A and B are shown apart, each in its own frame.
Chain A
Amino acid sequence: MTDTTVKLSDAEIRAQMLRDFWYHFKQNKGAVAGLFVFILLVIAAVLAPLLAPHDPTEQFRDALLVPPVWAENGRAGFWLGTDAVGRDMLSRLIYGAQYSLFIGVVVVSIALSGGIFVGMIAGYFGGWIDNLIMRVMDVILAFPSLLLALVLVAILGPGLTNAMIAIAIVYQPHFARLARAAVMGEKEREYVTAARVAGAGNLRLMFKTILPNCLAPLIVQATLSFSSAVLDSAALGFLGMGAQPPASEWGTMLAEAREFILRAWWVVTFPGLAILISVLAINLMGDGLRDALDPKLKKS
């Protein structure tokens, strides 16, 4: 038998890892369904102006609280009915996808980068820096997340941007903890020592050498935080602290709909359903990601 070890280039190795990952991910039908729905969501958000039948803020004075098209008194043109001031539900829902995706991306980016940075420094340097940073994280974690976000928004003033910042701050500790644990696990490994001996500085070691090997749990947490961000920002919107009316954010839509729950069920049902489906899709993907990345984790 001949010795058949061929040296693959970095790009080829990465391509192989991607193929392995996709093979495992595909096995989980729920995850694939989630991915599919998520892609639909992205399409809805990006192509909203093309897909929505009406302008989301346009009020049709002659079509207040119209039921969905299949119900009694439904009107063609307003597929999912209209709200209390005559705005088309379907269009608002489609534009709402923009908010949800935007919120998810922004919140996760801030929380991820901030949390990783802080967590890596804590794990890498250890000692009093680690203690200090982790105490701060513990303090943040002691507050129920929604409450802290609410108070932060109260300080900063209601609105979408402030809501996103508040939520991102509240999620940071989760990423910080994961990053710290990962760094502490990898710090003493040989490849790190090798790089250090070769003259790599601390920053480079942390972010170019160690970090790429700790990505799996961080990615899983990122999907979880994405879905939580959508839920929490909807909650803030529902409480009047997030995106302000007339924004067609799904949570804000629910806040406006609250007084009509017994009269017009569609104004309440559809935005919530949109939230549920989006969050469910992302959570399904997250589950699939975790399972697909796990065997790789164990192998390494």
Chain B
Amino acid sequence: MIRFLLTKLLYLVPTFLGITLIAFGFVRVLPGDPVLLMAGERGLTPERHAELAAQLGFDRPMWAQYLEFLTRLLHGDLGNSLVTKKPVLAEFFALFPATLELAFVAIVIATVIGVPVGVLAAVKRGSWFDQVSMTAALVGFSMPIFWWGLLLIILFSGILQWTPVSGRISLLYFFPAQTGFMLIDSLLSGQKGAFSSALSHLILPSIVLATIPLAVIARQTRSAMLEVMGEDYVRTARAKGLPRARVVMVHALRNAMIPVITTIGLQVGVLMAGAILTETIFSWPGIGKWMIDSISRRDYPVVQSGLLLIAGLVMLVNLLVDLTYGLINPRIRHK
């Protein structure tokens, strides 16, 4: 178990370095003068240009620049946004809770619906439920989520007027962000109707974001269950005269969940990509939208560091998934 952990951690290092390399190299690959790109100032005189070049380190050899980049990174200095002039890291942490809240609710929805559907589809293989649910899953999986979001907006916000179109909470409410999670903060604020406003703003985007993970989890659970139910130990459980429910929910599911949990964890990476589209459609102020805006505004320090942070985040989540796998797979946990 320990060795398993250590190997995983060890592999992180070169991968992380690779990520930093890409983030670092990205600005230098862009067409144009990197000094101009990163400084964001216009009409530079030659002296100012040289000054900035020295300041940003562009006058030094490439490897020195990279080392400087790494050092600054380890000290938490990821540069400043060209647009807001504020530190990128600070902006990231300010906006991250919004995406986290959205992603969390989405993955909960996807798991709470996806796993039972998958189990039931496997247990009732070939039944109408199986066929309908798996077809629905395939449709969900094939859906362009930006379109799906727009459709839901048309239906629920436009025609039915049940949900709002954008933002995290109605503009009527204003309170200081304590946790950054609107659901919690609105409850803490004590203002009437704040929580339900936050909830109604959250529902549609999280459903849209949850769609693909839900489809994947349902399909994965079904195939994992089918495979497990054909195993010898499930036959033994039946031979022991255990009730059907126990055979499925205790003996089979426990083993099927091992690959499924891995899938759920990996979906987080998918969520990060999906968040970009979802946040754009619903004007949800999270890091996905931040990245899009920065790319179109040519706010390169943000793009460079944002890339780094998001990739680092995904790496971290994957590590957690690997660790969880080691914990729940008895063959690894108990050597």
Q: Name A residues whose Cβ lies closer than 8 Å to a Cβ of B.
A: 30, 135-136, 138-139, 142-148, 150-151, 154-155, 157, 227, 231, 234-235, 238-241, 251, 254, 258, 261-262, 265, 268-269, 271-272, 275-276, 279-280, 283-284, 287
Contact = CB atoms under 8 A, between A and B. Distances in A.
Closest A-B pairs by Cβ, 5 of them: A272-B147, A139-B18, A144-B273, A279-B142, A146-B273
Nearest to A279: B142
A150 B307 CA distance: 10
A147 B154 contact: no
B277 A135 contact: no
Interface stretch (B168-176, B180-188, B308-316): B308-316
22 contacts: A135-B14, A138-B11, A138-B15, A139-B22, A142-B15, A142-B311, A142-B314, A142-B318, A143-B314, A147-B291, A151-B295, A151-B303, A155-B29, A238-B146, A251-B144, A254-B150, A268-B151, A275-B147, A276-B144, A276-B147, A279-B143, A287-B138
Interface residues of B, number: 45
B295 A154 contact: yes
Contact of A147 (B31, B141, B280, B310): B310
B143 A144 contact: no
A268 B150 contact: yes
Nearest to B273: A144
Given A155-B26, A254-B150, A142 B277 contact: no
B158 A261 contact: yes
Q: Is the interface of A mostly helix, strand, loop or mixed?
A: helix
B7 interface: no
Interface string B115-157: 0000000000000000000010011011110111011011000
B292 A136 contact: no
Contacts of A251: 144
B204 to A, nearest CB: 13
Contact of B153 (A157, A254, A261): A261
Contact of B138 (A136, A146, A262, A283): A283
Contact of A154 (B19, B22, B158, B303): B303
Q: Is the interface of B mostly helix, strand, loop or mixed?
A: helix
Contacts of B139: 276, 280
A268 to B, nearest CB: 5
A84 to B, nearest CB: 15
B143 A276 contact: yes
A139 B19 contact: yes
A298 B21 CA distance: 42
A280 B14 contact: no
A143 B144 contact: no
Contacts of A231: 142, 144
Interface of B: 11, 14-15, 18-19, 21-22, 26, 29-31, 135, 138-139, 141-144, 146-148, 150-151, 153-154, 158, 269-270, 272-274, 276-277, 280, 291-292, 295-296, 303, 307, 310-311, 314-315, 318
A154 B146 CA distance: 20
B142 A227 contact: yes
A264 to B, nearest CB: 10
B159 to A, nearest CB: 9
B144 A235 contact: yes
A251 B151 CA distance: 14
A261 B22 CA distance: 38
A280 B142 CA distance: 5
A231 B150 CA distance: 15
A143 B311 contact: yes
Given A155-B26, A239-B292, A240-B296, A144 B147 contact: no
Nearest to B269: A144
Contact of B19 (A142, A275, A279, A284): A142
Contacts of B147: 254, 268, 271-272, 275-276
Contact of A136 (B18, B144, B154): B18
Contacts of A154: 30, 295, 303
A184 B73 CA distance: 38
A140 to B, nearest CB: 8
Contacts of B15: 135, 138-139, 142
A142 B22 CA distance: 11
A237 to B, nearest CB: 10
A268 B22 CA distance: 37
Given A142-B19, A151-B26, A261-B158, A272 B150 contact: yes
A150 B280 CA distance: 14
B10 to A, nearest CB: 12
A271 B146 CA distance: 12
B160 to A, nearest CB: 12
B138 A280 contact: yes
Contacts of B314: 142-144
Contacts of A269: 151
A150 B275 CA distance: 13
A143 B144 CA distance: 20
A30 B19 contact: no
A42 B127 CA distance: 34
Contacts of A227: 142
